Amino acid sequence: MAGELVKLLSELKEQEALNFVEKALAEGVDPMELLGDARDGMNIVGQKFATEEYFIPDLVFSGEVLKGIVKILEPHLKKDEKTERLGKVVIGTAAGDIHDIGKDLVVFMLDVNGFEVHDLGIDVPAQKFVDTIKETGSKVVGLSGFLTLAFQSMKDTVDAITEAGLRDDLKIMIGGGQIDEQVRSYTGADAYGKDAMEAVKLAKGWIGGR
């Protein structure tokens, strides 16, 4: 029975996955084990997305299935089990830009992989990043942007973080359709990622080795 949920979720079999969780709980399977399986299933979805076997709608759909699974599991989880997290990441779409698809995917994959994600939304002013880093003590920041004008905002945000004296033990990653090494170097970020899986890899490398 172990691994069955991994397979069902990674193959996007919504109803079967939900039914399986109900049944497994009734049979006394540890809900934490099921949650772990769900997470592994989501990772496979993420990998299949990275290799272009799956597409964005698949990813979003898998998130919905996961939500359904968590909803069933939630009443059975102890409080500390629910809140156990790898580390904190602050993320948002840079000022002037309103694109959210890529950012939402990154938020989603980080969340699924166990990070506590503070999603500031779109068109986020530099100061808002600075304030949230201070409040949360996050060590990783993700800046997203699709428009070319977001590159300037990303640079401004990195500069603002530096000026606030927060840059030293903080890692900043950027991402977006047109981001490349040239943009990374322009903005002063530490790294850029091509997709949501790379964002997870970067964050894990920095704060969440597991």
Partner 1 sequence: MPPGQTSDVPRGGNGECTQAEAQRGEIVLVIVGERINTSRKRVNEAVEKREAAYIQEDVKSQLEAGADLIDINAGSRLNSEVDDLAWLIDIVQSTVPEVRLCIDSPNPGSIRSVLHVVERPPMLNSTTAEKDRFEAMSEIIQSTDCDIVALCIDDKGIPKNAEQALDTAARLVSDLESLGVKRERIYIDPVIQAVSTNTNAALIALEAIEGIRRKLPGANVICGLSNVSFGLPKRHLVNRAFLALAMRAGLSAAIVDPLDKKLMGTLRATTLLLGQDRWCQDYIRAFRKGWLEA
Q: Which residues bind partner 1 (CB under 8 A)?
A: 52, 55-57, 60, 96, 98, 101, 104, 122-123, 147-149, 151-152, 178, 186
Q: Are 59 and 108 in contact (CB under 8 A)?
A: yes
Q: How far is the CB of 48 from partner 1 (least distance, A)?
A: 13
Closer Cβ to partner 1, 64 or 74, answer by number: 64
Closer Cβ to partner 1, 23 or 55, answer by number: 55
Closer Cβ to partner 1, 136 or 148, answer by number: 148
Q: How far is the CB of 55 from partner 1 (least distance, A)?
A: 6
Residues 1 and 23: their CA atoms lie apart, in Å, by: 11
How is 157-192 classified by DSSP, letter by letter? HHHHHHHTT--TT-EEEEE-TT--HHHHHHHT-SEE
Q: How many CA atoms lie within 13 A of 207 on its CB side?
A: 25
Q: How far is the CB of 97 from partner 1 (least distance, A)?
A: 9
Q: How many CA atoms lie within 13 A of 93 on its CB side?
A: 20
Q: Please name which of 207, 199, 210 lies closest in space to residue 170, comparing C-alpha atoms.
A: 207
Q: How far is the CB of 195 from partner 1 (least distance, A)?
A: 11
Closer Cβ to partner 1, 2 or 56, answer by number: 56
Q: How far is the CB of 44 from partner 1 (least distance, A)?
A: 19
Residue 116 token pair: 């506590």
Q: Are 119 and 111 in contact (CB under 8 A)?
A: no
Closer Cβ to partner 1, 127 or 178, answer by number: 178
The interaxial angle of helices 56-73 and 31-50, nearest 10 deg, is 180
CB-CB neighbours of 44 under 10 Å? 16
